Amino acid sequence: MSDHHPLAIQGAEAPTLTQDGITFRDLNKNGRLDIYEDPRRPVAERVEDLLVQMTLEEKAGLMFHTMIATNPDGSLENPPGPFQLPSPTEMVAGRLMNHFNVFNIPAPRQTALWHNRLQKLAESTRLGIPVSISSDPRHGYTHNPALAAAAAAANFSQWPEPLGLAATGDEALVQEFGDIARQEYLAVGIRVALHPMADLATEPRWARVNGTFGEDAQLSARMTAAYIRGFQGETLGRHSVACMTKHFPGGGPQMGGHDAHFTFGKEQVYPGNNFDYHLIPFEAAFQAGTTMIMPYYGQPIGLPIEAVGFGFNKDVITGLLRNKYGFNGVVCTDWGLLTDMERDGKVIMAARAWGVEHLSREQRAKKVLEAGCDQFGGEACPEVIVSLVRSGQVSEKRIDLSVRRLLTDKFRLGLFDNPYVDVDAAETICGKPAFRKAGELAQRKSMVLLKNGKPGAGKVLPLQGKPKIYVEGIAPAVAAQFAQVVDNVEQAELAILRLNTPYQPRQGGFLESIFHAGDLDFKGEEKARILSLLDRIPTVVDINLERPAVIPEIADKSAALLADFGSNDAAVLDVIFGRFVPTGKLPFELPSSMEAVQKQKEDLPHDSENPRYPFGFGLRY
């Protein structure tokens, strides 16, 4: 593949390259090099040269960053599904959009083909502005099909969730993760990471704790900075993946642990007067050079600022982010602030326009711009911006300010020099053995040993030899590589039980039924079943902590207790059988009861009364 965007100097040869049926031609339709295409010129000059050529419609298209679907065969046809998005052709050639958040992706080769076809489509537009593809995390274990906020690793290397990275306490490991994820993203054309989450998990019931680095601001700050360095490098360039750090100024202190995706969870509260504490990880992100920032949906209550969602909040975006911190990069709203989500003509999710619900879509967009944001996440209505400018409500000069920032990132990432990816290399790079090995090691390093034996009974772990074991939540075929697996408890010498953090299933709408929120303790028949097993046989319990589980009885009755944050069965058994010594430390405390959780203040860390296991706890063999 050539080292420059297929727009070449006037009079030059017009060589072509065909790859998997796509022909890339090094000559644009005008047969000349537009001045903004010359990589020898400073980025600022190239931005201005392009900006003066853009129509209002082209500028408006640049300011929308919405979802896009991939077809398993790598074509640009939308795949079937319950939520039909506009086609790529309509969005790129019709609405002149060129920032897209990709949903689930197929195998690396097909993803790379799809990406190149999308860039070819963008090249056919009047100015040939290349597409920027973004993604939520893709290297962990969590998969949320509605949010696209976390896609479980498939063809990429698989690592623990951010909580697990934090549990290692190892900045070098986190930077290594970022560097490996960067290479895998680049291979398939993903150039913007809609992460890391610098939010603090000070409210343990919050459904998005799993995406954070825990509740401690200093730990989160170290992890956030290392993460960004891994993805972006020391400076943003053609080998970088730009980070959109979220959710400024910290989305963790949600009232009662409810999430601001929903009307009932829109309030963000600070009963401990601890607003500034939540800024500490973002300060580290600024120092590390994060390219972009995303504010959260939350509506701040009880603060001396306007009580509107952060994406609409001039006090926060201009006053705090722009003026106090001097951040001059792109600010993109969280998804869906302007438009209700509909299916079959029915609203299934209202726009997250908290505090400004009474405003029209155009008025909401104007308020977002006045707040200081540059881009509308999850929206595909550039005509709203065109209308605001043509009606005199917003100046084109204001639009130019945001467009400059957006173009600057595209130029710095080298997208104008060559937006295409090598399809063959994508297959080789994604999930390569060395990357998978690093992820496997990180899974083991992230595990936390919470208990090893009952008082006066001696240590249980590591297990020795090949005992007869009964397993639940572990693949018997994997367990058989470590021990003799039996079918019932009566035949076993001990049991190994893997659990997930409890949550309260909800029967609400589109997203509500998917979010893992609410109480953190096991209840009813499930709790009784677990405790019955622990009474019948010595049991090693491993629990996946996507939130801080409340498990005092399980802790009491277990023979040994471990926590993981995204580890496969082999990784868990390696620790249990002593093939790997546990080194992880809890990135949050585990409360002693739900009553203690309910007494906590949403914005304070480490404030649970008599926690069963404190922040930073972790045993070793």
Residue-range domains of the chain with CATH: 440-599 (3.40.50.1700)
Residues 482 and 466: beta-carbon distance below 8 Å: yes
The pLDDT score that the predictor gives to residue 18 is 53
Kindly indicate the confidence band of residue 10, based on its pLDDT and cuts at 50, 70 and 90.
Answer: very low
Please state the rounded mean pLDDT for residues 248-269: 95
**Continuous H helices in 483-544:** 524-536
CA–CA distance from 194 to each of 119, 133, 219, 296, 331 (Å)?
20, 10, 20, 13, 12
pLDDT at position 505 is 87
Q: Looking at per-residue confidence, does 579 or 144 come out higher? A: 579
Label residue 544 by pLDDT band (50, 70, 90).
Answer: very high
- For residue 42, what pLDDT is reported? 94
Q: What is the pLDDT of residue 534?
A: 98
pLDDT computed for residue 153 by the predictor: 57
pLDDT (0 to 100) of residue 500: 97
d(CA 422, CA 417): 15
DSSP 485: E
Instruction: Determine the Cα–Cα distance for residues 496 and 502; give it in Å rounded to an integer.
Output: 18
pLDDT for 348 equals: 81
Across the range 81-101, mean pLDDT stands at: 90
Query: For residue 354, which of 283, 300, 390, 315 has the smallest C-alpha distance?
Result: 300
328 pLDDT band (50/70/90 cuts)? very high
pTM of this structure:
0.93
> Annotated catalytic residue: which of 136, 170, 315, 334?
334
**C-alpha dist (Å) from residue 115 to 3, 128, 184, 549:** 17, 15, 14, 41
* pLDDT of amino acid 84: 72
What's the pLDDT band for 220 if we cut at 50, 70, 90?
A: very high
Q: In this model, does residue 35 exceed pLDDT 50?
A: yes
Q: Are 214 and 166 in contact (CB under 8 A)?
A: yes
pLDDT in tens, 390-449: 999 999 999 999 999 999 999 999 999 999 999 999 999 999 999 999 999 999 999 999
Element (H, E) at 109: helix 108-123
Q: Taking 50 as the threshold, does the pLDDT of residue 28 lie above it?
A: no
State the residue for tokens 């060589």. Answer: 15
State in Å, rounded, how far the first CA of the chain is from the last one: 52
| pLDDT tens by residue, 177-213 | 999 999 999 999 999 999 999 999 999 999 999 999 9
Report pLDDT digits (tens) over 268-299. 999 999 999 999 999 999 999 999 999 999 99
The Cα–Cα gap between 311 and 338 comes to 11
Q: Is 535 strand, coil or helix? A: helix
Q: Write down the mean pLDDT value for the chain.
A: 92
Element (H, E) at 77: none
3-state helix, strand, coil in the chain (%, to 5): 35, 15, 50
Catalytic residue status for 334 = yes
